[in-house]
Amino acid sequence: MEKRMEALEIKISYQEHLIQELNEVVVRQQSQMDKLEKSIHQIREYLRAGETHQNTQEVESPPPHY
């Protein structure tokens, strides 16, 4: 009975360690996803600003030799 308890304690110890490592991975991944979402938002805003700027520019007339 004592050996079984010791074996269970060892298993629990390994599981707790693994859970902690997995939690750290999840936290890092969430941080990466947050950064990527922010980058995507910035890119979208940049593209929208470029479209707006492009739409507000006057259409250039063709060169005189046309």
Mean pLDDT value of segment 18-45? 98
Query: Taking the CA of residue 55 as centre, how many other CA atoms within 13 Å lie in the half-sphere pointing to its CB?
Result: 6
CA distances in angstroms from 30 to 16, 34, 36, 46, listed in the order given: 21, 6, 10, 24
At 34-63, the pLDDT tens digits run: 999 999 999 999 999 988 766 666 566 777
CA dihedral 16, 21, 25, 31 (to 10 degrees): 80
pTM across the whole model: 0.63
Mean pLDDT of the chain: 90
Mean pLDDT value of segment 12-22? 98
Pick the more confident residue, 56 or 3.
3
